[in-house]
């Protein structure tokens, strides 16, 4: 198919693959599956890798700890469990609250999110199946584990705020079958969801409300409403009244919540590295905000209050740094955390003195520290252990700096081999104001054990260095992200960690776009490419699923100027007949609720047709989505395919 868009002739011969439900496309996918399996199953190390990955991934996963009403709530998956389940600790005793697999009778049943009430008596849990993330709210009584009859569907990425007394709560929900138009409703326990009253609905369908917070006395409700990943507004409502807008950012954001009797907010309004402010609901105008934690040279990620202290989470060179403050913001000290680590959960509540930090590093899975806010000292409260046979000390972690094409300096984390050339895997993300920090990635273990070097690049578009860093990698500046990534690859080559033939790249979602652009712009740099659940057709991306939400990050092809930069880097449109491409493995899920699988379909078809001599494999997972909620029995063979492919082609 050929069409003219803004005066440019666009060749789109595989548009028919966008009709993912048609018999023709299903037959094509079946052929791709058969070919991919034949190739991957023939790799000599695949069976060995799958066995090791089953051991490693059985180590599980651990979510943040949230203290509420004398209980501590957390999610965990261990051993042969297919999915993470919800647990609580009370009076020193741990017990299971809900297992989504048991609840749904389906191995793909996933705990997408959960919210305990302020007193810890009730929990709202969002549960979905098949990787589609279209959560249904279930309610549980924490004291008994009893499941209430209430069910509320279509609560993808939901947020819940219990009202005082625990008989009602506010929640975000989508219209049935819709990807847009999220709004806020009030549910009263025991009543049908169809009777829930509308509380708030943004005028723009692509604006997303949440988080929601209710003051302890029930007098005020605060609703943050997000427009993309760089702007938001704040709405306040008195009890029984309509929400009114009290702040609307122009390329600025605010995220507000009640912490005890105080309305706190994180905001980058006038503070690109973010600050924490106190807002008086009676005088909520920006000019009246009072700094609680002022902006510093480092990015502020979060603030949580216990009964007598604040814990403040900053990023310093893309690593976590937590400080203790009095409730008035006065600095007291630093928590002695492991170097080059990430705090994945900062759990505190104004009703409790306990504070729990959940921490990960590149070589240590998640563990929990209970911090004494008065001293900053901590005690271990459990966690996950490294896999059997894996010694974290044998795989050193360090940071190095590299410079991008325009001279911008950034950070590259290196894990594993200290010297000599060998198989090297580079990954990154660079978008949506999300940081790339040290995290435990168990699937990388067999690669490290095989002598591999794992490299993680900090790229513009993320939040590692504040909002200016984010904006330097979005819209018309998106090419900066690709330049950063290619510069990181060149730094690895320059320092003789690898050769192009032994350098692989991997990225997922927006990171899939990243490696797709790297592949089409600089194919000579790489020996193998793994591209997971990717965006690759940037001319038509916004026509599918939830992708209109991303216009503020990428731009819209309906705008002639935005079309120019989107088309210039769109991987699907930049496949060149004269180029030589390294082996490519594309992965997607049939039920991806975020990125349409047709991106991977079309790119695979184009690469295979343009370069039949190059290896392009397409792996399509049934009953799977963007990756969230994928059961262990699907995760292990998928990771075995990825790492067998990489080790096969990187030597």
Of these residues, 138, 325, 626, 649, which one is catalytic?
A: 626
Work out the end-to-end distance of the chain between its first and last CA atoms, rounded to an integer number of angstroms: 40
Burial of 548 (0-12, 13-18, 19+ CB in 10 A): middle
Question: Which residues are CB-contacts of 495 (< 8 A; sequence separation ≥ 6)?
Answer: 400
Paired residues of 4 in beta bridges = 9
Token representation of residue 28? 């094509």
Residues 534 and 588: their CA atoms lie apart, in Å, by 8
Give yes or no for a contact between 571 and 19, defined as CB atoms under 8 angstroms apart.
Answer: no
Q: Which of 481, 488, 483 is nearest to 503 (CA)?
A: 488
Known active-site residue 58: no
614 is catalytic: no
| Segment 126-130 long-range contacts (CB within 8 Å, at least 24 positions apart) | 126/155, 126/156, 126/158, 127/100, 127/103, 128/156, 128/629, 129/104, 129/629, 130/106, 130/591, 130/623, 130/624, 130/625
Q: What is the dihedral of CA 101, 106, 108, 112, to 10 degrees?
A: -50
Which burial class, exposed, middle or buried, applies to 58 when counting CB atoms under 10 A from its CB (0-12, 13-18, 19+)? middle
Q: What are phi and psi of 107, to 5 degrees?
A: -65, -20
CA angle 201, 206, 212 (to 5 degrees): 45
Phi-psi map region of 116: left, alpha, beta (phi>0 left; psi -120 to 50 alpha): beta
43 in Cβ contact with 583 (< 8 Å): no
Q: Exactly one of 213, 441, 502, 509 is catalytic; which is it?
A: 509
Q: Which residues contact 600 (CB under 8 A, 6 or more apart)?
A: 531, 533, 534, 536, 586, 587, 588, 618, 620
- Kindly state the greatest CA–CA separation across the chain: 69
Residues involved in catalysis:
509, 626
């Amino acid at each position: 198919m050929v069409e003219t868009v803004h005066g440019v002739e666009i060749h789109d011969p595989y548009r028919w693959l966008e009709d993912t439900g048609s018999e023709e496309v299903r037959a094509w996918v079946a052929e791709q599956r058969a070919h991919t399996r034949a190739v991957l199953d023939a790799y000599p190390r695949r069976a060995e890798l799958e066995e090791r990955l089953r051991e490693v991934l059985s180590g599980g996963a651990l979510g943040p700890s949230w203290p509420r009403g004398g209980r501590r709530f957390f999610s965990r998956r261990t051993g042969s469990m297919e999915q993470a389940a919800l647990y609580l600790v009370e009076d020193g005793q741990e017990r299971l609250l809900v297992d989504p697999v048991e609840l749904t009778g389906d191995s793909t049943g996933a705990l997408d999110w959960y919210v305990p009430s302020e007193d810890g008596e009730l929990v709202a849990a969002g549960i979905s199946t098949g990787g589609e993330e279209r959560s249904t709210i279930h309610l549980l009584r924490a004291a008994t584990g009893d499941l209430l009859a209430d069910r509320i569907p279509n609560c993808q990425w939901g947020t819940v705020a219990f009202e005082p007394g625990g008989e009602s709560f506010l929640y975000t929900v989508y219209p049935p079958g819709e990807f847009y138009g999220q709004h806020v409703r009030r549910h009263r326990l025991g009543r049908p969801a169809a009777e829930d009253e509308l509380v708030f609905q943004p005028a723009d369908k692509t604006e997303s409300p949440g988080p929601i917070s209710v003051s302890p006395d029930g007098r005020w409700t605060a609703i943050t409403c997000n427009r993309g990943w760089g702007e938001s507004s704040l709405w306040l409502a008195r009890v029984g009244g309509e929400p009114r807008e009290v702040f609307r950012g122009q390329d600025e954001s605010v995220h507000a919540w009640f912490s005890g009797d105080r309305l706190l907010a994180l905001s980058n309004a006038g503070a690109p590295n973010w600050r924490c402010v106190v807002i008086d609901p009676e005088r909520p105008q920006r000019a009246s905000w009072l700094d609680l934690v002022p902006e510093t040279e480092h990015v502020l990620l979060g603030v949580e209050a216990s009964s007598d202290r604040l814990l403040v989470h900053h990023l310093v060179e893309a690593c976590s740094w937590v400080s203790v403050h009095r409730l008035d913001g006065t600095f007291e000290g630093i928590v002695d955390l492991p170097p080059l680590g990430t705090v994945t959960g900062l759990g505190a509540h104004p009703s409790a003195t306990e504070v729990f930090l959940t921490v990960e590093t590149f070589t240590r899975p998640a563990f929990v520290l209970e911090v004494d806010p008065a001293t900053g000292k901590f005690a271990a409260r459990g966690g996950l252990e490294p896999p059997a046979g894996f010694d974290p000390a044998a795989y050193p972690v360090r940071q190095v700096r590299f410079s991008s094409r325009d001279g911008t300096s950034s950070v590259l984390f290196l894990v594993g081999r200290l010297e000599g050339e060998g198989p090297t895997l580079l990954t990154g993300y660079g978008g949506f104001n999300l940081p790339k920090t040290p995290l435990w990635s168990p699937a990388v273990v067999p690669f490290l054990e095989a002598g591999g070097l794992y490299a993680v690049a900090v790229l513009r578009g993320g939040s590692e260095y504040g909002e200016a860093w984010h904006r330097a990698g979005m819209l018309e500046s998106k090419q900066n992200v690709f330049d950063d990534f290619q510069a990181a690859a060149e730094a690895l080559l320059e320092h003789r960690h690898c050769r192009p033939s032994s350098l692989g790249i991997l990225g997922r979602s927006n990171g899939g776009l990243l490696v797709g652009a790297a592949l089409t712009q600089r194919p000579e740099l790489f020996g193998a490419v793994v591209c997971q659940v990717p965006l690759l057709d940037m001319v038509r991306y916004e026509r599918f699923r939830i992708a209109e939400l991303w216009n503020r990050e990428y731009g819209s092809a309906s705008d002639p100027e935005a079309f120019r930069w989107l088309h210039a880097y769109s991987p699907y449109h930049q496949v060149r007949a004269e180029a030589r491409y390294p082996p490519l493995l594309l992965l997607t899920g049939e039920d991806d609720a975020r990125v349409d699988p047709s991106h991977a379909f079309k790119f695979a078809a184009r690469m295979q047709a343009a370069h039949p001599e190059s290896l392009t494999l397409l792996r399509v997972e049934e009953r799977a989505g963007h990756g969230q909620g994928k059961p262990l029995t699907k995760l292990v063979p998928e990771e075995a395919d990825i790492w067998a492919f990489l080790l096969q082609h990187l030597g």
